[in-house]
Structure 1
Amino acid sequence: MALSGALERLQEEAICSICLEYMSEPVSVDCGHNFCRGCITKHCQEKCLWNDAPFSCPQCRAPCRRSSLRPNRQLANIVESIRQLGLGGGVAPGTPLCTQHDERLKLFCEVDEEAICVVCRESQHHRSHAVYPIEEAAQVYKVKLQKVLEHLSKEVEDMKKCESVTKMKMQECKETVKKKRERIVSEFGKLHRLLAAEEKLLLQKLEEEEKQILVMISENVVRLMEQKSLLDELILEIKEKMHLPDEGLLKDMKCILSRCEAVKFQTPKAVSVTLKEDYSIPERCLGMRDMLKKFKVDVTLDPETAHPDLILSEDHKSVRRGGRKLLVSFFDNPRRFSSAPVVLGVQLFFSGRCYWEVHVGDKPEWGLGLCKEAASRKGNILFSPNNGYWVLRLQNGGNYEALTCPVSRLTPSIRPRCIGIFLDYEAGEISFYNVSDRSHLYTFTDKFSGKLRPLFYLGSFLGGKNAEPLVISWMRDMQGTGCIVL
């Protein structure tokens, strides 16, 4: 098959494009094309060209002169060798011919976008048009189509990436809404459905906002899929076009290229998955704190557990950093914290529900929560539920953290200056509230066993910047709790 193709191309090179027969006395013109001497001479005579007047090459329209005609002896030898091999001259069977002149279609008119013969080239209609050998034109347009194909393929890749990001946003929106929904249901559940109407309203607003976001995202996905479908159809059409014969490939080329150039990926509208509403229990729900106060306990500090650097008030309701020199004898007490600036409450909780409040003011560092009575108090302590500590902490003046594994970052909308702590022993929950705006901060969920004690962490002294005390709110009632006062 390769030999057959080579012989066919060799045969084509030996054929004169004027008479379409093997060349007789082949001569070369200025542009490098070859013709029979008699054919090119006759061509000049038909054009009434005498002496050395310039004429146009019948094949490429390049200007030539008769004086520059040069015998091509090497081509003459090749033509003779082809004749001796017995290869037939003329047009090969199945070769497309001009319907008007019954000549071989060897040229391509760029203006009319059609294959023409050398006779058509000399016609009045095509004489002023840009004409190229059909093989050369096909190669040029193949390069253009390849560039267009690469461009469209890149557009598809960009669209796929955008589609992936858009779908990820949809999932992110669903996850965000799921977490918010769980938090809302949990918070209202702890309040014994006293605020059921408000809960229902907030959940409806959340669902409506979710629908709005998902509708916008879904519209973006639909538009992306429509654009992708159009691009896929265009790419398939181009690929099929590139497998057609040259004359079929070149048909309607301007229309196809114009459609390709018009393709531009329309970036979908940006959709934020950030929820507009805060969905915390609003300030108007005054019943929240009133309910929690039903379980209030009067917490006091236990000086026997206080780190030696801490100073307690006479009523054991507040504690601050002292910055004084530590005495070794203080560490002999096994109940005392030796490294962390911590003091525990006197009360021991083993059942029921308990609530108390602590004023933290503008302290840049503090920690509040509960710990097991049997939790370690010596050396370096890692506050975590695994070690028997459930602590909410502020560090560096703005980093609020629930000390879980890993740490859970919190972002209260208003700086808490008073923290409410609610223990539901049987439910296994320790909840923290920002009393300043009556909002929920965080809830630890665990399975408790043994006795628990309130914990107060003072943080670093910070050269006196953290000298402000932690102050326990004064609440005398102690009803409905499983509590022991040491």
Structure 2
Amino acid sequence: MEAEGPAKGLCEEATCPLCLDFFKDPVTIDCGHNFCKSCLAKCWGEPGPEASCPQCREKIPQRTLRPNRQLANMAELVQKLQEGGRKKEGRRDACKMHQEPLKLFCREDEAPICTVCDRAKEHRGHNVIPLEEAFQEYKEKTKLQLESLRKKKEEFRDQQYVQELRRKDYQTQLDLEKMKIKSLFEGMQRFLEEKQHFCLAQLEDLEKEMEKRQDKTLTKLTEEISQLTLLITEMEEKCLQPASDFLQNIRNSLVRCEKNLGGYVPDISPNLNERLKMTSQKISALQKATESYKESLEEALIKAVWEQTVNTDSCIQAPKKDSLSRAPNRVNVTLDPETACSRLILSEDLKNVRMLGCTPHSSNVFPQKAFVLGRERFTSGRHCWEIRVSSNQWAVGISRDSVRKKGSINPNTDDSIWAVGVKPGSYYSSEVCIFPEVGSFSLNRIINLLYVVLDYEVGRVEFYNSKEFIYAFSSISFSGEEIRPFFFVPNDGSLKCC
């Protein structure tokens, strides 16, 4: 019994993980794992430039196979030792009733029997085959089940990864919806406070439901993977057993394999996608209503925004095409050096810009050439980007592509730009101006990080300070012209595209 553990380990080292038999013509691949040459060829299929290890899934750029002669010799030696051991253990594998060797297998009773049992009335008329034939037949069935179990495990792992990515995407969308809701209720008085609390509570419930469902899904996936791992280990160990032990309760083992292959974790994404899309569409409708008439806000809120209650237990449907088409596309904005004047210094990665030199601080006008445009051009869709402000004078927004041909502009009067910022000469850096100039107002905090959200089809651009709404230009007619990110950087100032 003491030698049983080391002997088992030696057998495992000499066993191919694909065919679960002793290595035949073993080869080693780049990741260090070993397989039978024929098994690996069958697994990889058609030849190609790249493959992956069947055991660890590591990419193998070059299909380099190194013959492992030492492993081949060891496998041959272990096989001979095992065959010799089986001969010595012949008596231990004898029939308990007749003390004869178990050389046959009864299909009806699914049990090994001896030649005397075969003639007994208990097995008369039964379908009896040689034990070795039954061993090979059921071993092949077990191999097929193992392969299916491994594939199912990989499917669950892929689902787990996708769920994690979707979880982050949902959180980003939820954060944006919170920002919209907060902007709707700023400036409203006491009678709207109850409605503000109600709307935020709806999104909080959605967020909690999302977390709850995602946690439940991920927990289920983890449980399924754990169960499959245990079952695979158990079946691999069973394949290493002698024929008589291996065939004990073989039917139950195969049934368990088939049962575990039926595992399924429902995808909750379509339901959440539709709910997020519906929330976004309803909030947009509410924004238009509040711009037209504040007195009817309560009626519009009930009728246009929360008219329908989403049933959280409704059936999960397949995702619809473009179900998130109204979600803004986060843009990685870079600066266009072709549009920057000579006094503007751009970083190598085209993410930072600063003004070289300084105009007198008493001036209350922008230098008319101190602007640069983003490389990105928009003719459709919804887009958002972030800008970090690190000076007391700046302007950020959007402009028509044609503004680059003007050479110099005045943001106070130019109708080709839509921007917010702090003018030179402003005493408070929290005093925000609108360009073209339509007035100014003060915020409760200094702007450090600015969010710009552009909706081309609607003709609207919104500005947020962190999670606080600042200002929005609406009913803009872009007339099909390309729209680009716009930056003004006067007076030794600097901006950074995040």
TM-score by length of 1: 0.44
TM-score when scaled to structure 2? 0.43
Question: In terms of Rg, which structure is larger?
Answer: 1
